[in-house]
Amino acid sequence: MKILCENGINYLTFKNIINNLRKVYEIKVIGDINNIAKALNDVQPELLLLKTESITGIVQAYSQKNNVKIIGFGDTNNSDVVADIVINKSKDILRPDIDTVSFKEYNTEKSGISVFVDNEESKFMADFLAINYDVNIFGKVKINSPKYLGIPTDIEKYEILNQSKYLIDLGSYDLYDAILLDTYPIVYTNHNLSKEYTTFHNLITLTNCMDFINVGENTDMVVKDNLNTLKSEFKKENSTTFTIELFNNLGFEKEAEILNIMLQENINDWISSRKW
């Protein structure tokens, strides 16, 4: 399958799809959308991933003539935009990437609470945590505290999560990786998550969460049960199963089956090695 995608699509769903497609296919990226006509002729793609604003008449004419499927990312206010599937921000949700399990380190003693701060909006709560609790803080936003330990690489972040008992997720989107590495996330959100999650939305509820993990009764047992339940759910619904469903809806049944075989092989390997 030949795939052409636009550079700069800042969607979680786009990242999920691309990460799964890269397991099997080479993906061509167009940096300057003004060169889309040349890129279409050069690559001759079967699948396009574009911002909805980039789905011009040229793109639509090419796709209709050559039976090219289009996934659009963005608003659909323009009635002239035609795409097989459109993903807007309301549909753009985080999904677990179960490949994270391959980074799992076993026989590692887990301890401590880690916090990643990647945006200025999270700095206030990170400062509060640094002043009042025994935490380790990492991220792009520097905190004026000895508890701030710098900016980790992607691999270092996996190592940190492997060693941590808890993660305070202030909007860094690391909660699914944490769960798959047996680290329990305390999540900053205004949305209702399933009962297995512990969430907060202000300093008062954050304090309640910290009391739960520091002095709560039967906390370890509750956390272990919640992690096991969530990981079992991830086996059924994750970024790969989402991509498989997407491919089936687009009529790419053969490609969907390839991803499904890879998914089942990985899950079987993880089960046999007690990774689940």
What are the tokens at 71? Answer: 């996934």
162 and 227 fall within a common domain: yes
- Identify the pLDDT of residue 78: 59
CA distance 110 to 151: 21
For residue 276, being part of any structural domain is answered with no
State the burial class of residue 218 (Cβ atoms within 10 Å of its Cβ: 0-12, 13-18, 19+).
exposed
CA distance 48 to 84: 10
**Structural domain range at position 168:** 98-235
- Indicate which CATH number applies to the domain containing 67: 3.40.50.2300
What are the tokens at 246? Answer: 């997407």
Ramachandran assignment for 67, one of left (phi > 0), alpha (psi -120 to 50 degrees), beta (any other): left
Nearest to 160 by CA among 139, 142, 144, 187: 139
- Identify the pLDDT of residue 264: 87
- Per residue in 216-226, pLDDT (tens digit) is 778 999 999 99
For residue 144, being part of any structural domain is answered with yes
Question: Is residue 58 helix, strand or coil?
Answer: helix
206 and 106 fall within a common domain: yes
102 and 231 fall within a common domain: yes
For residue 274, being part of any structural domain is answered with no
For residue 231, being part of any structural domain is answered with yes
- Identify the pLDDT of residue 50: 95
216 and 245 fall within a common domain: no
135 and 211 fall within a common domain: yes
74 and 115 fall within a common domain: no
227 and 134 fall within a common domain: yes
Residue spans of the chain under pLDDT 70: 77-81, 271-276
Quick check: 234 and 179 in contact, CB under 8 A?
yes
Q: How many domains does the chain have?
A: 2
109 and 35 fall within a common domain: no
- Per residue in 39-69, pLDDT (tens digit) is 999 999 999 999 999 999 999 999 999 999 9
199 and 156 fall within a common domain: yes
For residue 207, being part of any structural domain is answered with yes
175 and 206 fall within a common domain: yes
Q: 171 CB contacts (<8 Å, ≥6 apart)?
A: 118, 119, 121, 122, 188
10 and 29 fall within a common domain: yes
88 and 195 fall within a common domain: no
- Identify the pLDDT of residue 105: 87
- Indicate which CATH number applies to the domain containing 194: 3.40.50.2000
- Per residue in 245-273, pLDDT (tens digit) is 999 999 999 999 999 998 888 787 776 65
Cα torsion 9, 11, 17, 22: sign: positive
